[in-house]
Amino acid sequence: MKDSCESRQAVGKEIVVKYQVGETGRVVLAHFEDGDEIIANLSGIIRKENIMCAVFYLLGGIAEGRIVVGPVEDDVRPPEPTWRELVESHETLAVGTVFWHGDEPRVHIHGTYGKFDAVKTGCLRGEARTFLIMEAVIVELKGINAVRELDPVINMVLLKLTGPSSRL
């Protein structure tokens, strides 16, 4: 991988974006039924199929779950999350990524959850259950060297590129 480096200036400080170029591997289609736990089953498929890096899409209904809709205060580290409960059925459209933290796949899901005219957008965390049906399309990413590692300042497990990277 060629390592090119160009710097940009924004508000007086240098911005460096690291990236890797890979390709798609296998594609997995999963069908979750009413009451199925979403994150645990998604992680189970990823573990069983030994998928190390992936992007996935979720489309369907969620019956219950918790989402983070932002930090309480933007400039506090580590951030304190603002939680919202999904306590009844919601239509769901979400996208996420999977990278491993040690010997466990870690999913990161951001989605939009709607019920009638009320719509919430946030990061789905913890246990979440399917309402009627949830479809998942998992697209394996090949040639990407990345993991999730604990960031001690933010106190969250975040994406880290581990192989040769290019820079913008």
The amino acid occupying position 148 is: R
Q: Residue 128: which of 71, 159, 96, 89 has the closest Cα?
A: 89
Q: Going residue by residue through the chain (168 aa), what tens digit of pLDDT does each one get?
A: 334 333 444 556 677 899 999 999 999 999 999 999 999 999 999 999 999 999 999 999 999 999 999 999 999 999 999 999 999 999 999 999 999 999 999 999 999 999 999 999 999 999 999 999 999 999 999 999 999 999 999 999 999 999 888 888
* Fold topology of 8-167: 60s Ribosomal Protein L30; Chain: A; (3.30.1330)
Q: Which residues contact 64 (CB under 8 A, 6 or more apart)?
A: 85, 86, 87, 88, 127, 128, 129
What single DSSP character describes residue 79?
Answer: P
CA 52 to chain centre: 14
pLDDT value of position 163: 85
- For the whole model, what pTM was predicted? 0.89
- Whether 111 and 124 have beta carbons less than 8 Å apart is answered as yes
pLDDT value of position 11: 56
Read off φ and ψ for residue 21, nearest 5 degrees.
-110, 125
pLDDT value of position 168: 82
Work out the number of other CB atoms within 10 angstroms of the CB of residue 147.
17
End-to-end Cα spacing for the chain: 14
